[in-house]
Amino acid sequence: MDFKRYIALFLLVLVSIKTLLVPFVYLDFELRKEYIVQQLCENRFKPELQCDGKCYLAKQLHKVAEDNASKEAQKHASFLKKIVEDTFEELTFMVELPSHFVVINVTQSAPTHFLLPKHARVLIKPPIA
């Protein structure tokens, strides 16, 4: 029973890390504010701007937002690619004839069950007059 609790706690921590990433950036900024203002701030040589490390904080927040956006875009792209591959999988038929004939390659862009539903496969004959 304890093993399941540890697994659940570990998964909760993993989910929380992504959720709490922005507050961790703010916490890091507040804890190291003096060091950031003196060493990392772009405007440390221009005290009249009174930046106080806000430029560094804005850069870090922008970097986190960019990383999240790129990961989400990559996730959506892979999901759409999988859907397209599953729906429109490419089937290739190759017919080889004797040497004096041409080799014919026929590519079908979608599965037959997608193009032709079951009721459309019935042959329709015109009425005989």
Residue 81 domain flag: yes
* Domain tally, the chain: 2
Does residue 128 lie in a domain region?
A: no
Neighbours of 56 (CB within 10 A): 21
Count CB neighbours of 53 within 10 A: 22
On the question of pLDDT at 91 being above 70, the answer is: no
Tell me the C-alpha distance between 113 and 62, whole Å: 47
pLDDT-derived band at 119, boundaries 50, 70, 90: low
Residues facing residue 86 across a β-bridge: none
pLDDT at 121 over 80: no
pTM for the model: 0.50
> What does the pLDDT read at residue 49?
82
Q: What's the pLDDT tens digit per position in 21-75?
A: 888 888 888 888 888 888 888 887 887 888 888 888 888 889 988 888 888 888 8
Do residues 44 and 68 both lie within one domain?
yes
Closest by CA position to 107, among listed 86, 93, 124: 93
Q: Are residues 80 and 102 in the same domain?
A: no
| Domain enclosing residue 64, as ranges | 2-86
